[in-house]
Structure 1
């Protein structure tokens, strides 16, 4: 499986490195692993829904 670093993932998803780190620590990215203190995200991983936006809140409530 191919992996990306937090920086590569943040550029791909257009969010901050800190936000990607939060997603990883909260187990919101399936397949993300921490090796030698560095998070690695699978290249085929989907961006988690951001519940802080109106669109994200609507999607979050639909799945519940």
Structure 2
């Protein structure tokens, strides 16, 4: 399986690597694995819906 880093996922999804780190820690990205201090995210993972707003921020950008 191919993986991407927090930085790569951030560029792909248009959000900060810190927010993605939070998603990984909370188990919101299926298949994400922690190897030492680094999170590995499957390249085919979908961007989680932003639960901080009523509608989520999935409407901005394509989410992939």
State the TM-score, normalized to the length of structure 2.
Answer: 0.83
Give the structure with the larger helix fraction. 1
The number of aligned residues is 56
Q: Which of 1 and 2 has greater Rg?
A: 1
Structure 1 runs not aligned, ≥5 long: 57-64
Give the root-mean-square deviation of aligned CA atoms: 0.8
Under a length normalisation based on structure 1, what TM-score does the superposition of the two structures give? 0.83
Q: Give structure 1 regions of 4+ aligned residues with deviation exceeding 3 angstroms.
A: none
Unpaired stretches in structure 2, ≥5 consecutive residues: 57-64
